[in-house]
Amino acid sequence: MTEENQLSAMAEAILFAAGEPLETSRIAQALGVTESEIPVIMQKLEQRYLETDSALQILHLEKAWQLAAKQEFAPVIRTALETRRMQPLSNAAMETLTIIAYNQPVSKGFVERVRGIDSSSVVNSLADKGLVEEAGRIDVPGHPIGYRTTDLFLRVFGLRSLEELPEPKPAESGGTFTGELTEQDVPS
């Protein structure tokens, strides 16, 4: 096995074992290569999957990589695992997620000011679903916890990075803005 093939195989093993997105820096450290070499290694792995009509793919999410099944196999995977689908997100959850996505990191207080209603339980629900996460303390009086979107958020909405978010449009009600996030199947 060539060194290039061995690196590709080791990257595949790391991503398979992780089962979740791994940052480029962690993969590079584990393989003993520079971060700039990781995209080449991942491209070789993805090419192998394409050539063999594999059900697997490599996802590049911001500064992380993940081994995942292709979207077209989702129905059969759900059936095989007999997982129940997550309930669709409520309008309040979609609104809150949009506010966080476009302004992150933000505190619960910020979300509440924009929405005009207590949003703590909605933010907590989104965190439980893995769509948002704590992002440290915000440098404002009281130092509240900030929230940001996760890699799962990117996957659910079919985005590679936050730069792919649609441009916000002014709200019809004269408020701040409304995003164009549309709900897709949320993995369970």
Instruction: Give the Cα separation of 123 and 15 in Å (integer).
Output: 29
Calculate the dihedral angle through the C-alpha atoms of 151, 102, 71, 78, rounding to the nearest 10 degrees.
70
Instruction: Give the Cα separation of 185 and 187 in Å (integer).
Output: 6
Q: pTM to 2 decimals?
A: 0.52
Residue in the block written with tokens 């909405």: 157
| Interval 49-108: pLDDT, tens | 999 999 999 999 988 999 999 989 988 887 776 544 556 788 999 999 999 999 999 999
Q: Residue 122, CB half-sphere, CA atoms under 13 Å: how many?
A: 21
User: Which residue segments constitute the domains of the chain, with CATH numbers given?
Assistant: 3-79 (1.10.10.10), 91-164 (1.10.10.10)
| Interval 152-184: pLDDT, tens | 888 888 888 888 888 877 655 444 444 444 444
Position 87 scores a pLDDT of 65
